[in-house]
Amino acid sequence: MAALAFGLFALGVQTASPAAAATRAPDPYFGVWYDGLSPTQDVANAELDRQAAAGVGLIRQYVWWDRIETSPNVFNWSRVDQLVTAATARGITILPTLLYPPAFYSSKPPGSTSSALFPPTDPDTMARFARAMVGRYGPNGSFWCTTVAPLPPSCRTPYAPIRAWEVWNEPDYPSWWKGSPNASEYVPLLQAVSTAIHDVDPGAEVVLGALTNAGGSREGGYLDQLYDLGAGPYFDTITVNPYSHSVADMVGFVRGTRAIADAHGDTTKPIRITEYGWASGSEYGWPDGTARRLDRFTTDACQAALMYAGTQRLVALRTEAKIHSIVQFQWKDLDTTSKSWPHWAGLLRADGTAKPALGALADAIAERPTPAGLSLQEACTGDHASRQPDVSIVGGVVDDSFSRTVDGWGSASTGGPYTLEGPAGDFQVSGGEGTMRVPAGGESRGALLGSTSTRNVDARVTVSTDKAVSGLGQRFAVVARRVAQGTEYRVRARFTSDGAVHLDTVRVVGGVETVLGAEVTVAGLEHDAGEPISLRVRFLGASPTTITAKAWAGRREEPDAWQLERTDSQGELQAPGVIGLRADLLTTLNAPVTFAVDSLQVSSPK
């Protein structure tokens, strides 16, 4: 049966029944990059049907400005009108990417042989174009509505105005910005276009031009530079294209982007994952030594496994990282002999036949189980199946979803091996959880990531216990800045017999504990056996170190406000140190108690 299921996947047959597919409305959280303006409308309609059937609710569409404004202030909207009509009829939202200035506005020097895209010489020309686009396709736009004063507008049905607009693509990559990216040159364009969009539609979402994985997630990179240049007010949504070998590295890039935005005070601004995906070339005898970025190619089966696992992981990060949408790149392979990996990242082959990745994406969107034979362990090898992160990724200090099965805790997906404090038999990883068994009151267990060393810490962890509290309580702690055995900071969550959850902070020096301020009770939060509690803890700065924490029910959204805040300047603890977790029991009548951790992520904010 498993072999049959894999065979159907290889043919691109979706596992959902037509009735099931028809009853699930497309979700705009899930998108694909698709150029629906270049083929005929009949071809585009057929592809939109397939996208909607897979559960895709968003297409990221390059807007070919030069095809629309054919001469100054002369616009041909016909092709865009057709695409907007077709997408709207299928419940699919369009995210337009404003690109490709006409030659008469371009800053490309006469006679230049550069293949790079050049921005307009005058940012105001693109601002005028954006104003025209929003005036046509935005709320009450001329495409949607007819207005005859003094009557109210009469609008077509379905009425689905475009509310989000992306300003350029990868301005931090040479091919997309005249061969030499420069953040100080992009800011005036962003500012002019953003202002124009908001003038026409004050509630519009201005989307930052998609940034590369490095530019969007690394300290000192393009996103950091934009914030330093004061560009924050000109975009409503952050972007990143977190391409990587593995799902773990992809998550590291996303976390790095979130950490950079948070460090600049943009803690509530959402992220759009504007491109993610992997290329497959096995049908063509690849990879071989001539392909560009050989490491980005894999087999059709591994591409499907990565697509399923990667999409699931981005869904799991939706609330925590404040992700607004995710866009797979790209819908279809190009009909080319080029061996550049993006040309082979499609869910379809160039001839229109489906790769297994199409069914895998549909299954991930529909929250169906992992397709038979398409787990990462079964379908992928080497770097694609499991890979330690590139050390230059900022933000991804630790990322562990405990997807392995091992006695002890083994090694985190990102963060290295765990050092255990307590008998190895009290630790196990299976079923997506890492467990610590504390056998009796007055005892503790710990798991430290000895290869980590960071001062600024932003940690998120989800934990549950297998028993209700008896006695003075069960306690779980995030450990940071361990510089020696018994010298560290801890933020502790204490669960008590009345169901309450309490937070406090402890400074430990030479084994001597000092509680920093009073314990805080988290209002409205209750602990119960088997129910997950999520914690987020930050340690920032030095002399003083600011320590903040919050806790919430694991299946609910993270609260905005911190519930605990303390400062401390203890000299030994102002340096980088090891990160870890600790569980202990106070007096109890129902030991042993098992603490189960099902996710741990740590970034290092700026």
Confidence bin at 9 (pLDDT 50/70/90): very low
Q: How far apart are CA 108 and CA 120, in angstroms?
A: 8
Q: Give yes or no for a contact between 138 and 130, defined as CB atoms under 8 angstroms apart.
A: no
Task: Identify the pLDDT of residue 383.
Answer: 57
Task: Kindly report, residue by residue over 93-150, the tens digit of the pLDDT.
Answer: 999 999 999 999 999 999 999 989 999 999 999 999 999 999 999 999 999 999 888 8
More confident position, 46 or 220: 46
**Residue 500 falls within a domain, yes or no?**
yes
Clarify whether residues 363 and 476 are in a common domain.
Answer: no
**Residue 392 falls within a domain, yes or no?**
no
Clarify whether residues 204 and 286 are in a common domain.
Answer: yes
Task: Kindly report, residue by residue over 539-597, the tens digit of the pLDDT.
Answer: 999 999 999 999 998 757 678 899 999 999 999 999 999 999 999 999 878 899 999 99
Range of the domain at 418: 398-603
Clarify whether residues 295 and 421 are in a common domain.
Answer: no
Least confident segment among 106-110, 208-212, 386-390, 525-529: 386-390
Clarify whether residues 352 and 420 are in a common domain.
Answer: no
With left for phi above 0 and alpha for psi between -120 and 50, is residue 277 left, alpha or beta?
A: left
Task: Identify the pLDDT of residue 431.
Answer: 76
Mean pLDDT of 197-217: 96
CA distances from 320 to 276, 458, 555 (A): 19, 12, 11
CATH number reported for the structural domain that contains residue 423 in this entry: 2.60.120.200
Structure tokens at 297: 């190619």
Q: Which residues pair with 97 in a beta bridge?
A: 62, 166
Alpha-carbon torsion angle 572, 574, 577, 579, nearest 10: 110
Task: Identify the pLDDT of residue 337.
Answer: 80
Q: How many angstroms separate the most distant Cα atoms in the chain?
A: 83
Half-sphere exposure of 176 (CA within 13 A, CB side): 17
Confidence bin at 11 (pLDDT 50/70/90): very low
pLDDT higher than 50, residue 388: no
More confident position, 282 or 274: 274
Mean pLDDT of 286-306: 70
Task: Identify the pLDDT of residue 244.
Answer: 85
Q: Give yes or no for a contact between 60 and 95, defined as CB atoms under 8 angstroms apart.
A: yes
More confident position, 284 or 238: 238
Confidence bin at 290 (pLDDT 50/70/90): low
Three-state secondary-structure class, residue 576: coil
Least confident segment among 177-191, 411-425, 548-562: 548-562
Confidence bin at 12 (pLDDT 50/70/90): very low
pLDDT higher than 70, residue 253: yes
Among candidate residues 385, 416, 437, the one where a domain is terminated: 385
**Residue 502 falls within a domain, yes or no?**
yes
Phi first, then psi: what are they for 437, rounded to 5°?
Answer: -100, 120
Least confident segment among 273-282, 442-451, 500-509, 570-579: 273-282
Among candidate residues 334, 364, 385, the one where a domain is terminated: 385
More confident position, 147 or 157: 157
The reply to whether the predicted model has a pTM over 0.95 is no
pLDDT higher than 50, residue 172: yes
Task: Identify the pLDDT of residue 340.
Answer: 79
Q: How far apart are CA 392 and CA 415, in angstroms?
A: 13
Q: How far apart are CA 441 and CA 587, in angstroms?
A: 5
Phi first, then psi: what are they for 500, rounded to 5°?
Answer: -75, 155
Clarify whether residues 580 and 460 are in a common domain.
Answer: yes
Clarify whether residues 23 and 123 are in a common domain.
Answer: yes
Strands (E), 170-322: 205-210, 238-240, 271-276, 279-280, 297-298
**Residue 535 falls within a domain, yes or no?**
yes
CA distances from 37 to 65, 223, 395, 418, 602 (A): 11, 30, 37, 51, 42
Clarify whether residues 363 and 496 are in a common domain.
Answer: no
Q: How far apart are CA 543 and CA 520, in angstroms?
A: 24
**Residue 391 falls within a domain, yes or no?**
no
Clarify whether residues 485 and 560 are in a common domain.
Answer: yes
Strands (E), 500-544: 500-509, 512-515, 520-526, 533-540
Task: Kindly report, residue by residue over 449-473, the tens digit of the pLDDT.
Answer: 998 888 999 999 999 999 999 888 9
CATH number reported for the structural domain that contains residue 245 in this entry: 3.20.20.80
Residue appearing with tokens 């932003």: 458
Total structural domains within the chain:
2
Strand 271-276 to strand 323-328: parallel, antiparallel, or no bridges (unpaired)? parallel
Clarify whether residues 365 and 403 are in a common domain.
Answer: no
Confidence bin at 387 (pLDDT 50/70/90): very low
Q: Give yes or no for a contact between 305 and 246, defined as CB atoms under 8 angstroms apart.
A: no
Q: Which residues pair with 599 in a beta bridge?
A: 462
What is the average pLDDT score of the chain?
89
Three-state secondary-structure class, residue 440: coil
**Residue 364 falls within a domain, yes or no?**
yes
pLDDT higher than 70, residue 390: no
Structure tokens at 447: 């798991």
Clarify whether residues 417 and 371 are in a common domain.
Answer: no
Among candidate residues 323, 351, 385, the one where a domain is terminated: 385
Q: How far apart are CA 120 and CA 29, in angstroms?
A: 31
Mean pLDDT of 443-449: 96
Q: Which residues pair with 238 in a beta bridge?
A: 271
Least confident segment among 201-215, 293-307, 449-463, 555-569: 293-307
Q: Of the candidates 385, 402, 365, 404, which has an alpha carbon nearest to the alpha carbon of residue 305?
A: 385
Q: How far apart are CA 45 and CA 29, in angstroms?
A: 21
Clarify whether residues 227 and 368 are in a common domain.
Answer: yes
Structure tokens at 73: 């202030």
Least confident segment among 98-102, 169-173, 602-606: 602-606
Structure tokens at 272: 């759009």
Phi first, then psi: what are they for 520, rounded to 5°?
Answer: -110, 135
3-state secondary structure 107-126: CCCCCCCCCCCCCECCHHHH
Clarify whether residues 380 and 402 are in a common domain.
Answer: no
Q: Give yes or no for a contact between 429 and 404, defined as CB atoms under 8 angstroms apart.
A: yes
**Residue 99 falls within a domain, yes or no?**
yes
Least confident segment among 1-15, 216-230, 263-277: 1-15
Q: How far apart are CA 344 and CA 293, in angstroms?
A: 12
3-state secondary structure 14-81: CCCCHHHHHHCCCEEEEEEECCCCCCCHHHHHHHHHHHHHCCEEEEEEEEEHHHHEEECCEECCHHHH
Task: Identify the pLDDT of residue 604.
Answer: 80
**Residue 372 falls within a domain, yes or no?**
yes
Q: Of the candidates 284, 409, 256, which has an alpha carbon nearest to the alpha carbon of residue 355?
A: 284
Q: How far apart are CA 59 and CA 55, in angstroms?
A: 12
